[in-house]
Amino acid sequence: MTEVRDELVKKRYASERRFRFYGAAALALTALFLAILLVDIVARGLPAFTEKTVALDVKVDPAEIDPAQLAGGNYDKLVKDAFRAEFPQVTGRAERKALGALLSTGGGDALRQMVVADPALIGKTVSVPVLLGADAGIYLQGMLTDLTTVAGKATLNIARLEGEEGYVLSGDTSGESAEQQLGLTAGQVVRFKGGALRVTGMQNGYVRAEAILPPELPVITLPAGQWDSLTFSVPESNRRISDAQAVWLEDLKSEGRIQTSFAWRFFESGDSREPELAGIRGALVGSLLTVAVALALALPLGIAAAVYLEEFAPKNKLTDLIEVNINNLAAVPSIIFGLLGLAVFLNFFGLPRSAPVVGGLVLALLVLPTIIIASRAALKAVPPSITEAALGVGASKQQAVFQHVLPLALPGIMTGTILGLARAFGETAPLLMIGMIAFIADIPQGFTSAATVLPVQVFLWSDLPEIAFKSKTAAAIMVLLVVLFALNAVAIYLRKRFDRRW
Amino acid sequence: MNAHVPHQTLVTPEKPRALASGQFKVTARDVDVYYGEKQAIKKLSIDIPDRAVSAFIGPSGCGKSTFLRCINRMNDTIPTCKVTGLIDVDKHDIYDPKIDVVQLRAKVGMVFQKPNPFPKSIFENVAYGPRIHGLAAGKTELDEIVEKSLRKAGLWEEVKDRLAQPGTGLSGGQQQRLCIARAIAVNPEVILMDEPCSALDPIATARIEELIDELRQNYCIVIVTHSMQQAARVSQLTAFFHLGTLVEYGDTDEMFTAPQEKRTQDYITGRFG
C-alpha cells in the first residue's frame, strides 16, 4: 500500500519538475528570440543615429547670394565648388560628377543656416561641416564593403605603358617577381599621393594595372611606406561607391577631415527622398497628434460606456447583445476600421485625407472596445462591499460609483487604456486606408494637415531600395519601441501610484 | 420537515420588556421576497420596537439577512429581487415610490458582515456620510461629528492620533467599530447589523457586543446572528426564522427558556440548523 503511494508522490513531483522545466524553457526561448530581435534592430539602426560630415573651408561668394534673399542663395554650388577644389587633379567631367555625388544634396544647408544667422559672413571664408551623401555615409560606416589597407612594404615603380592603356608596376630590381615583392593581386587598389590604380593582373613578371585616378607623371618611383594597397571585399560593380570615390573618401579620412556626429537631423526633419536628410520628426509628430485625438475621444467615451454598462445598465437582452458586440469589435481586424473611416469620415463627412484627426477617429474606434473591456474588468474587480458601504450610509448609486468604485478601478482602467493606446500607436493598417501612407516631407502643423505616423513611416522606408534606408527603418523601429516602452512604463507607474491609495 | 406552514399573522412580542416607549419603529406586514422565481420570505409580519436590540436567528438560508436588507432597501441593488407587502419605518411605507431611498438609508444605517471601511483615511470614512448629506456646516462641525461618532463607537481613544491613516490599516474589530461609527455619523434611527461579529475574534466580539448594548439607549437595533449565545447576550427580543418564515418572535429570555414553537426549541437546543 505505502509503496504505491510513494510512487504516486514521486510521479507528482516529477510532473511538477517537468512543468517547471517547460515553463523555464519557454521563457528562455522567448527571451532568446527577443534578444536576437533587439540586437539585430539596434545593430542595424545605430548607424542612422550618426551622420558623416566633411569639414570644408568655403568662400562665401557674394555673387551667389542675394543679400535680400539670404536663404535663396546657391549654397550647394559654393559647397560643391569648395569640395572639388580639394581635389584639383580631378578634371574629367564624369570624375567631377562622381566627386560631387559624394556630398548630400542638402550639403549646403549648414552653410545657409550660418549665413542667414550671420550675413556678415558673406565674402569671407568659413569652415563649415558639409553633410556627405547617404552612399558615402554608409561606405564610411563600413556597411558597403570591408576594406583592408596594407602599407606598401617594398619600393614600387609605376610606368605608364606606351601606345596602350594601362600601367605596369614593378618592385626594385632584385630577383623576386614583382607580384611577390609587392604582394598585389588582381582587384586590389594601389593608392599613392597623386593617383590610384587598380590591379588587373600579371604579365611577364610585372603587375598590370589600370588607372582610377591617373597620376600626372608617366613614371613614378615610390619607396616603401609611400603607397598602400586597398582590398575591397565587394567588387566595384556591386556597390554604390566606385573605387575612385572610395579612394577620395579614404584620403579625406586619413587627413582627418571626416567627422562623425550625432544625427540630430534624424529627430528634427521630416521624410525625404535622400536617406541622409530623412528624419522621423514628421512621423513622430503625426503619431502624437493622431494618438492625442484617439485618447481624447476613446478615454472618456470608453470609461463612460464601461461605467454605464457595468454599474447602471439594466441587465437584459439588449445589454447582453451590446456586450457581445463590444467583445466582437475588439477582435475585428483593424483594416476594417480603416475602411469604415474611409467610408464614413472621408467620403461621408468629407474630412481631410491623411489628417491626424481622421486617423485619431479611426484609432479611437479601434481601441474603444479594448478600453471598455479593460475598464469593465477593473470596475468588476472592485469589491461589492465598497458599493454596499457607500449605499449603506445613504450615498446615491452615482455617488457610490464615482466617489468609491471608479477611483478604485482607475489603476486598472489606466492600464487598459494605455495598453490600448500602445496598440493604437503601433497600428498601421487602418491608417493606410485613410491616406496616411503618403510621402509627406513636411512636419504636420495641426490636426488637419497631412501627416503620417511612425509605424507607417517604418513601412514606407522598409520598402525603399537604398541601403541607407534600411538603417533608417531600423532606427525608426527603435524610436517606435522606445515610445511604446515609455507608454508601458507610464502605465506601470500609474498603476503603482494609484494603488498606493490603499 | 414541516409540511404545514403556520399561519403568519402579526407577530408582536407579548411582553416586550424593552418596549418602554410603546412605539414600534419598524413594522412589516405580509412581506414576500422573491429572488427571481425563488421565494425567500413568505408572508412575514413583525413589529420591531425602538430603543431595543432585536436579534434575528435561524439556520442559513432562512431569510433573516434578506429581510434585514429589506428594511433599508439594500435589496434594490439585486436586479432579480422583488419585495411585496408593507414595511413601515416610523409609520412611513419605505417602498412607497415617493420615498427617497437615499434618505431612507441615512435613517436606517447598516453594518455589514465583513468590516468594509472605505479605502480612505479613518476621518474620511466617518466624514463621508455627513458630507454627502450636508450634515456639517463647516470643518469644525464635521470634526465634531467625526469625534462624536468615533466616541460612540468606542474607537476615539484608539484612533484620535491617527485619523489621517487608512481605515483599512486597523484591526478587524477596530474596522468593524469604524463601520459602526460611519453608520452612526449620519444620525440614523435604526441600525441594521448583518452578522457584525462573524469575522471577529472573541475579544473584538465582546467589545462590539458591549457597544451594541450602549447604542441600544438611542437606536433601534436589529442584528442578524448565527450565534445563539450572542443573541441571548445582546438582545431584548429574538426572532426565529426558518425556511423563509418567521416562526417565533418574543422576549429573548422567554424564547431561550420556554419557546412556544417546537421548531424553535429544536433549533435552540441544537437539534437542527
* CATH number assigned to the domain covering B17-253: 3.40.50.300
- As a whole number, the mean pLDDT across chain A is 87
How much is the pLDDT for A175? Answer: 58
Give the integer Cα–Cα distance in Å for A66 and B244: 100
Sign of CA dihedral A300, A301, A303, A304: positive
Contact between chains at A385 and B114 (C-beta distance less than 8 A):
yes
Cell numbers at residue A180, please?
A: 611577390
Contact between chains at A394 and B105 (C-beta distance less than 8 A):
yes
Whether residue A147 contacts residue A235, with contact meaning beta carbons closer than 8 Å, is answered with no
Q: Which residue from A135, A97, A38 is spatially nearest to A465, judged by alpha carbons?
A: A135
Residues B163-168, mean pLDDT to the nearest whole number: 90
Mutate to test the interface with A, among B35, B105, B108, B123 (most CBs of A within 10 A): B105
Whether residue A78 contacts residue A59, with contact meaning beta carbons closer than 8 Å, is answered with yes
| Helix ranges restricted to H, A63-108 | 75-85, 93-100
How much is the pLDDT for A41? Answer: 93
Local structure of A168: helix, strand or coil: strand
Contact between chains at B119 and A389 (C-beta distance less than 8 A):
no
Cell numbers at residue A81, please?
A: 565648388
Min mean pLDDT across A174-178, A227-231, A250-254, B168-172 is at A174-178
CA distance B172 to chain A (A): 15
Whether residue A502 contacts residue B120, with contact meaning beta carbons closer than 8 Å, is answered with yes
Mutate to test the interface with A, among B65, B69, B110, B111 (most CBs of A within 10 A): B110
Residue in A385, A396, A502 closest to B166 by CB: A502
Whether residue B221 contacts residue B54, with contact meaning beta carbons closer than 8 Å, is answered with yes
How much is the pLDDT for B6? Answer: 43
Min mean pLDDT across A193-197, A371-375, B114-118 is at A193-197
A313 touches chain B (CB under 8 A): no
Nearest chain B residue (CA) to A407: B119
Which helix (H) or strand (E) segment holds residue A143: the answer is: none
A383 touches chain B (CB under 8 A): yes
How much is the pLDDT for B19? Answer: 45
Instruction: Kindly report, residue by residue over A409-430, the tens digit of the pLDDT.
Output: 988 898 888 888 888 988 889 9
How much is the pLDDT for A25? Answer: 97
Residue in A315, A388, A399 closest to B132 by CB: A399
A392 touches chain B (CB under 8 A): yes
Give the integer Cα–Cα distance in Å for A184 and A229: 8
Whether residue A269 contacts residue A336, with contact meaning beta carbons closer than 8 Å, is answered with no
Give the integer Cα–Cα distance in Å for A416 and A49: 33
Band the pLDDT of B11: cuts 50, 70, 90. low
How much is the pLDDT for A399? Answer: 92
Contact between chains at B77 and A389 (C-beta distance less than 8 A):
no
Enumerate the β-bridge partners of residue B88.
Answer: B27, B93
B127 touches chain A (CB under 8 A): no
Cell numbers at residue B145, please?
A: 461629528
Which helix (H) or strand (E) segment holds residue A38: the answer is: helix A2-45
Contact between chains at B102 and A404 (C-beta distance less than 8 A):
no
Q: Which residue from B50, B57, B25 is spatially nearest to B238, judged by alpha carbons?
A: B57
| Helix ranges restricted to H, A263-342 | 265-268, 281-307, 317-330, 334-341
Between residues A341 and A211, the one the model is more confident about = A341
Contact between chains at A394 and B118 (C-beta distance less than 8 A):
no
Whether residue B53 contacts residue B217, with contact meaning beta carbons closer than 8 Å, is answered with no
How much is the pLDDT for A173? Answer: 65
Give the integer Cα–Cα distance in Å for A85 and A111: 17
Give the integer Cα–Cα distance in Å for A265 and A50: 9
Cell numbers at residue B255, please?
A: 424564547
Q: Which residue from A145, A161, A167 is spatially nearest to A230, judged by alpha carbons?
A: A145
In CATH terms, are A147-232 and A277-498 the same topology? no
How much is the pLDDT for A500? Answer: 54
Calculate Rg over the CA atoms of chain B.
19
Residue A499 confidence (pLDDT) above 80? no
Question: Which residues make Cβ contacts (< 8 Å) with residue B221, sequence separation at least 6?
Answer: B52, B53, B54, B190, B191, B193, B212, B215
Mutate to test the interface with B, among A393, A404, A406, A408 (most CBs of B within 10 A): A393
| Helix ranges restricted to H, A71-175 | 75-85, 93-100, 109-117, 134-140
Contact between chains at A389 and B117 (C-beta distance less than 8 A):
yes
| CATH fold label, A277-498 | MetI-like fold (1.10.3720)
Angle A299-A304-A309 from CA coordinates, rounded to 5°? 130
A147-232 CATH, one of 2.60.40, 2.60.120, 2.40.30, 2.130.10? 2.40.30
Contact between chains at B183 and A399 (C-beta distance less than 8 A):
no
Residue in A315, A385, A394 closest to B116 by CB: A385
Residue B17 confidence (pLDDT) above 50? no
3-state SS of chain B is CCCCCCCCCCCCCCCCCCCCCCCEEEEEEEEEEEECCEEEEEEEEEEEECCCEEEEECCCCCCHHHHHHHHCCHHHHCCCEEEEEEEEECCEECCCCCCCHHHHHHHEEEECCCCCCCCCEHHHHHHHHHHHCCCCCCHHHHHHHHHHHHHHCCCHHHHCCCCCCEHHHCCHHHHHHHHHHHHHCCCCCEEEEECCCCCCCHHHHHHHHHHHHHHCCCCEEEEECCCHHHHHHHCCEEEEEECCEEEEEEEHHHHHHCCCCHHHHHHHCCCCC
Give the integer Cα–Cα distance in Å for B138 and B147: 14
Instruction: Kindly report, residue by residue over A297-346, the tens digit of the pLDDT.
Output: 999 999 999 999 998 988 889 999 999 999 999 889 999 999 999 999 99
Give the integer Cα–Cα distance in Å for B6 and B53: 26
Instruction: Kindly report, residue by residue over A48-61, the tens digit of the pLDDT.
Output: 898 889 988 888 88
Give the integer Cα–Cα distance in Å for B100 and A396: 10
Cell numbers at residue B214, please?
A: 450602549
What DSSP designation does A55 have? E
B105 touches chain A (CB under 8 A): yes
Residue B10 confidence (pLDDT) above 70? no
How much is the pLDDT for B121? Answer: 92
Q: Which residue from A344, A308, A488 is spatially nearest to A430, judged by alpha carbons?
A: A344
Residues of B in contact with A394 (CB under 8 A): 102-106, 129, 132-133, 186
Residue B4 confidence (pLDDT) above 80? no
B183 touches chain A (CB under 8 A): yes
Min mean pLDDT across A86-95, A124-133, B162-171 is at A86-95
Listed by number, the residues of chain B in 60-89 with a beta carbon closer than 8 Å to a beta carbon of chain A are: 72, 74, 77, 79
Residues B174-203, mean pLDDT to the nearest whole number: 91
Residues of A in contact with B111 (CB under 8 A): 392
Residues A465-488, mean pLDDT to the nearest whole number: 90
Residue whose grid cell is 539596434 = A42
CA distance B169 to chain A (A): 9
Enumerate the β-bridge partners of residue A228.
Answer: A151, A191
A385 touches chain B (CB under 8 A): yes
Instruction: Kindly report, residue by residue over A144-191, the tens digit of the pLDDT.
Output: 888 888 888 888 888 888 877 788 888 776 656 666 777 788 888 888
Q: How many CA atoms lie within 13 A of B130 on its CB side?
A: 25
How much is the pLDDT for A283? Answer: 92
How much is the pLDDT for B192? Answer: 94
Exposure letters B213-225 (e unless 16+ CB within 10 A, then b): eebbeebbbbbbb
How much is the pLDDT for A328? Answer: 92
Q: Which residue from A116, A131, A117, A111 is spatially nearest to A59, judged by alpha carbons?
A: A111
Between residues B131 and A5, the one the model is more confident about = B131
Nearest chain A residue (CA) to B182: A393
How much is the pLDDT for A111? Answer: 87
Instruction: Kindly report, residue by residue over A23-32, the tens digit of the pLDDT.
Output: 999 999 999 9
Winning range, highest mean pLDDT, from A99-108, A152-161, B223-232: B223-232
Residue A22 confidence (pLDDT) above 90? yes
How much is the pLDDT for A455? Answer: 92
Band the pLDDT of A363: cuts 50, 70, 90. very high
Contact between chains at B118 and A390 (C-beta distance less than 8 A):
yes
Enumerate the β-bridge partners of residue A209.
Answer: A167, A199
Instruction: Kindly report, residue by residue over A365-381, the tens digit of the pLDDT.
Output: 999 999 999 999 999 99
Query: CB neighbours (10 Å) of residue A112?
Result: 21
What ipTM does this complex have?
Answer: 0.85
Enumerate the β-bridge partners of residue B255.
Answer: none
Residues A265-278, mean pLDDT to the nearest whole number: 89
Calculate Rg over the CA atoms of chain A.
33
Residues of A in contact with B114 (CB under 8 A): 385
Give the integer Cα–Cα distance in Å for B151 and A375: 40
Contact between chains at B119 and A408 (C-beta distance less than 8 A):
yes
Whether residue B142 contacts residue B131, with contact meaning beta carbons closer than 8 Å, is answered with yes
How much is the pLDDT for B22? Answer: 55
Band the pLDDT of A466: cuts 50, 70, 90. confident
CB pairs A-B closer than 8 Å: 69
Q: Which residue from A412, A420, A415 is spatially nearest to A379, judged by alpha carbons?
A: A412
- CA distances for A411 relative to A300, A375, B58, angstroms: 15, 9, 42
Contact between chains at B132 and A383 (C-beta distance less than 8 A):
no
